[in-house]
Structure 1
Amino acid sequence: MKHVIALDAGLNKYQPLKKIICYDDFDKGFNGWMDLHPNYVGKDFNTLRHSHVDKTQWGPLTLSSASFRLTGTHGSMDGTYSLKLSTRQTANPYTEAPAPGSLAHGIKRLTTHLPKGLRQYEMWYAYTPEQDRQGLSEQAMRAFGIFFDIQDDEHRYFIGARYVNAVNGEMVRRWQIFRAKEGITDVEWAYGVENDWCKMGIDAMWYGKRYPDGSTDGFEWVPDGYQDLCYNESDDKINWSYLRLLIDTEKREYVELQSGDRVFDLRGIKPTLTAPYARVKGLFNPSMWVENDTDRRVFFYADSVVISAE
């Protein structure tokens, strides 16, 4: 007997692996994506350990029709709504820890169910600072990125990519991958805090010392990773762009990063492996985030996301 499989037409703009784990079209709702908050595990929902980075003020996630003061409503790439990440109007200099509210973070909480092997994260996205003044303000966007937070039987590791757009007002436009510098201690990683919840290699979005050129103790530059992304001529216009990350969970390695028509070969590069955390065995969380570079809100829009496996 022959079987006919009908696929959503929206998948035509993706190139998924054989098994589609999820296809999140935000016209159909949040699809399990939510804000990231600290672990409220202390008495009366207070955090158990002190951290130098205040994670309680990260910007909100909303479903957005991408409406602007001058251009009206963009809608999403396919439909009306996209997932919108919004920072708050605050930022520290790049070489300091991120200010409370200077990041927005979206996460989908999954666990593994397939044999180890290739995994892929695909999305169409757009970004812009808030259209609240005249002039072109591309430099208000510091960085954005995607990653998987994975824990198997032996290790927990973050594996993903970050686009460094601007540092202290100067354009950089280079890709990085999650990979911590060797020799960094847990205390150095957490800005001098003893017994911080986070260990070296985890949560590099806001941990790890930062340097004036855009490098950090938590990321490594992608070879030949400069890319001038399409931004358009003003802050009230957005352009949808394609992003794809391919990894190997059997080898615990990067495979490829594709941004638009650029494909970066990352084969053989390994992320930073840490000891497993309690109670999160089988963790497989896809995530995205955005960070601003000035005291101005910036927005990151995800039209849809596809997570797939071989």
Structure 2
Amino acid sequence: MPSLSHAQARQPSDAALSRFDPLPRIICLDDFDRGFCGWTQLVGNYEDSLDAMLPGYAQHSSPMLSTLSHWDIGSHGGVDGDYALKIATGPRPGAQNVTIKRLTYRRAGPIRLEAYVTFKPEANALKLSETDVRSFGFLFDLQVGDTTPGERVMPHLRFLNASSGEHVQKWQFKRQSVPIVPIGTENKTISHYHLSPDGWEDLPGGAQRLCYNEIPTKVNWHYICFDFDLSSMQCTGFRCNDRVFDMSGFDSLRLPAMKNLWCMLNLAFFAETDSGKRAFVYIDSVCLSGDF
């Protein structure tokens, strides 16, 4: 008899959970038909003045709840409801935006991120515009507990859809350290813009053609699943739709542990545009689970 997935064994009649394959403990199950579910704007660090914020962070704005409205069809809606979480960039090439959920963890063990996402540029022209979104992706911002020597570890993955108007369609990761910038005068706050365009590396075997429908207002949802072990601070798996990728060449951005971020478990999604149009990334639902 075939074994049941954790989702099937726990909630066989719950469609919101059964579309995922979580580890035994559900840390959060966010369906944006219920609201923002704790997701918010990634605000840069500052002290005394908002002008102290690094420019990369200053461009960020709050995520929105969206019905995926379009001029030609009305509202698209989510996978099984009305709303998705919308990340929208500014209308200039290279503009980015990020949404984040801030947690801490109770034990350093395996965790799994699963989500249903889609991406589109702003549909303000009667053409496909398939190369107007530069990238979308996700990251964790993690740190060990206060009794454990270790690091702040930031696994990043992005789907590079296009670059300078050319279709690319491949997954990339970032492990290159970025400059740490002191903020203010009290030696309490620092900052670093880790989503800068430099330092991205191709994931070996990471080329993938994602579904992008025939007109600029149609969307199809994509499934992503990312496994990570908090005890070893190593990625243990990644898949998108039907593709399972070899992550043996993957590594994370690593920094010295910081004095006030113990047991941090932050999760973020981001969008980036390649054109003078806004790029939109929509998240229908997110499941973060663990084996602890």
Letter of the 2:110 partner, please give it: L
Alignment match, 1:80: 82
> How many angstroms apart in 1 are the aligned matches of 2:125 and 2:268?
31
The answer as to 2:118 corresponding to 1:131 is no
Letter of the 2:15 partner, please give it: A
Indicate conservation of the 8 Å contact 1:59/1:88, yes or no: no
Alignment match, 2:184: none
Letter of the 1:157 partner, please give it: V
Indicate conservation of the 8 Å contact 2:156/2:253, yes or no: no
The answer as to 2:268 corresponding to 1:284 is no
Residue range with higher mean Cα deviation, 134-143 or 5-14 = 5-14
> How many angstroms apart in 1 are the aligned matches of 2:227 and 2:268?
14
> How many angstroms apart in 2 are the aligned matches of 1:143 and 1:64?
20
Indicate conservation of the 8 Å contact 2:114/2:288, yes or no: yes
Alignment match, 2:179: 186
- Other structure's SS at 2:33 match: helix
> How many angstroms apart in 1 are the aligned matches of 2:255 and 2:129?
38
1:225 to 180, 197, 206: 206
Indicate conservation of the 8 Å contact 2:132/2:273, yes or no: yes
> How many angstroms apart in 1 are the aligned matches of 2:249 and 2:87?
32
- Other structure's SS at 2:103 match: coil
1:176 to 172, 178, 202: 172
- Other structure's SS at 2:259 match: coil
1:27 to 28, 33, 38: 33
Residue range with higher mean Cα deviation, 269-278 or 223-232 = 269-278
Deviations 1:243-273 (A, max 9, x none): 1111111111111111110011214743232
Deviations 1:88-128 (A, max 9, x none): 11125xxxxxxxxx111110010111x21211111001111
- Other structure's SS at 1:55 match: helix
| CA-CA distance at 1:296 after TM superposition | 0.7
Alignment match, 1:9: 15
Unaligned runs of 5+ in 2: 1-8, 182-186
Give the RMSD, CA atoms, in angstroms: 2.2
Tell me which protein shows more strand as a share of its residues. Answer: 2
Q: Where do 1:206-285 residues align within 5 Å? A: 206=196, 210=197, 216-217=198-199, 219-267=200-248, 269-285=250-266
Alignment match, 2:6: none
Structure 1 residues 226, 185: closer, same or farther in 2, change over 3 A?
closer
| CA-CA distance at 1:55 after TM superposition | 1.9
Unaligned runs of 5+ in 1: 93-101, 211-215
- Other structure's SS at 2:276 match: coil
Alignment match, 1:122: 114
Indicate conservation of the 8 Å contact 1:60/1:87, yes or no: no
1:111 to 104, 107, 110: 104
- Other structure's SS at 1:110 match: strand
TM-score for the superposition, normalised by structure 2: 0.87
1:159 to 152, 155, 158: 155
Residue range with higher mean Cα deviation, 247-256 or 289-298 = 247-256
Moved over 3 A (4+): 4-8, 195-199, 267-270
| CA-CA distance at 1:281 after TM superposition | 1.1
Deviations 1:63-112 (A, max 9, x none): 000110002111101100000001111125xxxxxxxxx11111001011
> How many angstroms apart in 2 are the aligned matches of 1:5 and 1:130?
39
- Other structure's SS at 2:254 match: coil
Letter of the 1:282 partner, please give it: C
Task: Count the aligned residue pairs.
Answer: 272
Alignment match, 2:47: 41
Indicate conservation of the 8 Å contact 1:131/1:236, yes or no: yes
Residue range with higher mean Cα deviation, 55-64 or 221-230 = 55-64
Alignment match, 1:144: 136
